[in-house]
Structure 1
Amino acid sequence: MAKKVPVTNQDREKSYFKYYADNVYCGEQEKYNQISEEPLDNSLALHIDNRNDLFLPGDLPGEFGWWLMDDGTALIANKTFFPGLTGEMFDWWFAWHPIDRLRYACWDNEDHYDVYLDDPAKALDMSKSMRERHWGSIHNIWEDIGTGNIDLLRIHFEKPSVLGYDESKVDTEVCNGLVCANVQILGSGDQPDIPVVMTHFLRPAKGGSILRSRFWFGWQIIDGKAVKCIPEGFKIPSAGPVCLLNHNVKEFSNLSKILPALYEEEKDNWAK
């Protein structure tokens, strides 16, 4: 049995502690079995320059898996069905959970250790929409992304148009939520920092929503354009995308199970 991240006695008094106390739902083993030992054919990968293809109706060729690209960058893709989920709930989650480390631990109580915001007041600004509260915010998180180490990530969330997405297509039949960010996985010792572009693309579906996630390793979006931010000749090691894909399956499987009920119970609870 995996060990849960530590919490305090004060945490045990909080109304949402029960979500931490439950065993994390890792998802179906069949999905992990689909994670290939070798990278997939790059012709199936969604290149970062074509990221607006996510708005096309239906599925793209590479909706699940991992790739090592010829230029040294890498990509993972994951797809998760969320029963009963709306775009409003998803946007609320990204505004609400970084206010308190226990909320982050409820998402994955075995791997999510801590979170703090550079500007916590913005997340609590009731004059802003849920989306506006996380646009421009920076989340500092400590988590095990599957490597067995506790990694520090700085996640700079942005308005979709800032990261080059066609925002006019959000809140339509092809997209009911879009959360995206430039990320830095901060290395320690001999491990270099790894830049990543993260996108969580939500689409309405019968009975809920489908989340389609993409992580482009080696890239950042600067002035709306994708810029390769790793040195020429450097190649993303395969362990990074493989570990993160396994972790992403786990954390979003659990979130798909708890989020609608958690939202209904806590949507107006902004105090720690």
Structure 2
Amino acid sequence: MTDSTAEPRPDPTRQTHLGMRPGELDGKWYAKYWNPVMAPLPEHVKEAISLGPQAPPLCLGLDGAGTLDRAGYQDLENGYSLFDDGSMHVATATHMPRVSPDMVDWWFWWHATETQRYKLWYPRAHLYAEWSGGAEEEVARYRERYIGGTSFVDEYVGNVPGRLAIRFVRPGSLGFSEDRLDPQQATAVCARVGFSDVPLDWGHLVHHVRLVDGGAEMRSRFWMGGSHVSPREGVSLTGELERVAEGVRNLGEAQARAMVVHCSQEMNHLAVFLPDIFDEFERSEQE
């Protein structure tokens, strides 16, 4: 996504609030999936946080993101690390019973077009969503519907509100072999993360999902701050934009911990209702 006067932006006057107001779900077929009660943080994530920052050599580098499609596990599957340039790396693993990789691809397309859908995902943190770009709905594979699109979202990470632009990119751009990503067996949701109100990117994310006994396993990775901060194409990092960039170059340990919690909570909550909402959607499409 390049920055220009024609570049899509979310409405700057948008109203955001946590939770659902009375009547906000009226007429929505998916209203029954709204559940503001979230499960406790998994024990393995609590343990990872309690260990504090992990040694940087244990972390997967962005240039090795594509190795997530290999069998087995890596040195750091849950936790975070801080680097000398101010960047942070975050890893979380989520077991998703009855979920398939194809369902996850569907979700990343379907949820982004409406704020109420986005709030289903993380009632305690998600505020607003708007979608721009991507393929038409008629594209058969769900993955192709969100790649190339941008999800503008407002959300809390910990107690810090953010207005974000999440631009979905092809898995191949991060080193994945796309012919190994059969959506019935595995998928990799890959994106560049930046701000929605200024032309600055400051992170990358990957959610690699593979089929396991009884469902799927999601292994999430984030690389944020430090050397991952850059202006968008055609924009110079000067003046006010440089000051904004300086604010996200060194995110700090509190933000890294909050990101571990955020990812784990939202993905575990999604896993609870995703199989049922996906099945209902698929049935309605076939009628």
TM-score interval (norm. to shorter): 0.7 to 0.9
SS in 2 for 1:35: helix
Q: CA deviation at 1:52?
A: 2.0
1:239-254 aligned within 5 A: 239-254=254-269
Residue 223 of structure 2 is matched in structure 1 by: 216
SS in 1 for 2:208: strand
Is 1:65 aligned to 2:71, yes or no? no
Is the contact between residue 134 and residue 157 of structure 1 (CA under 8 Å) also seen in structure 2? yes
SS in 1 for 2:182: coil
Distance 1:27 1:204 in 2: 23
User: Structure 1 stretches of 5 or more lacking a match?
Assistant: 223-228
Q: CA deviation at 1:261?
A: 1.0
Is 1:44 aligned to 2:54, yes or no? no
Q: 1:207 to 1:159 in 2, by over 3 A?
A: same
Q: 1:84 to 1:221 in 2, by over 3 A?
A: farther
Q: Which runs of 4+ in 1 moved over 4 A?
A: 185-188
Residue 165 of structure 1 is matched in structure 2 by: 176
CA offsets per residue over residues 142-194 of structure 1, 9 Å max, x none?
11111x13211100001111333222321289x61110000014699xxxx66
Give the CA RMSD over aligned residues. Answer: 2.9
1:1-80 aligned within 5 A: 4-29=18-43, 31-36=45-50, 38-80=52-94
Amino acid at match of 1:65: G
Q: 1:13 to 1:64 in 2, by over 3 A?
A: same
Distance 2:51 2:157 in 1: 18
Alignment equivalent of 2:156, drawn from 144, 147, 153: 144
Q: 1:204 to 1:220 in 2, by over 3 A?
A: farther
SS in 2 for 1:13: coil
Distance 1:185 1:245 in 2: 20
Distance 1:116 1:18 in 2: 22
Residue 127 of structure 1 is matched in structure 2 by: 139
Distance 1:99 1:268 in 2: 20
Residue 211 of structure 2 is matched in structure 1 by: 204
SS in 2 for 1:161: helix
Distance 1:199 1:40 in 2: 19
CA offsets per residue over residues 42-68 of structure 1, 9 Å max, x none?
121111122222122100011110000
Is 1:153 aligned to 2:167, yes or no? no
TM-score (norm 1): 0.82
Distance 2:230 2:283 in 1: 33
Amino acid at match of 1:180: C
Residue 5 of structure 2 is matched in structure 1 by: none
Question: How many residues in Structure 1 have an aligned counterpart in Structure 2?
Answer: 253
Amino acid at match of 1:168: D
Is the contact between residue 91 and residue 260 of structure 2 (CA under 8 Å) also seen in structure 1? yes
1:184-199 aligned within 5 A: 184-185=194-195, 195-199=202-206
User: Structure 2 stretches of 5 or more lacking a match?
Assistant: 1-16, 232-241
Distance 2:183 2:38 in 1: 32
SS in 2 for 1:62: coil
TM-score (norm 2): 0.78
Amino acid at match of 1:267: E
CA offsets per residue over residues 6-35 of structure 1, 9 Å max, x none?
335141332211222452234435532431
SS in 2 for 1:34: helix
Q: 1:10 to 1:41 in 2, by over 3 A?
A: closer
Is 1:181 aligned to 2:194, yes or no? no
Distance 2:48 2:103 in 1: 29
Residue 225 of structure 1 is matched in structure 2 by: none
- Provide the identity percentage: 27
Is the contact between residue 187 and residue 194 of structure 1 (CA under 8 Å) also seen in structure 2? no
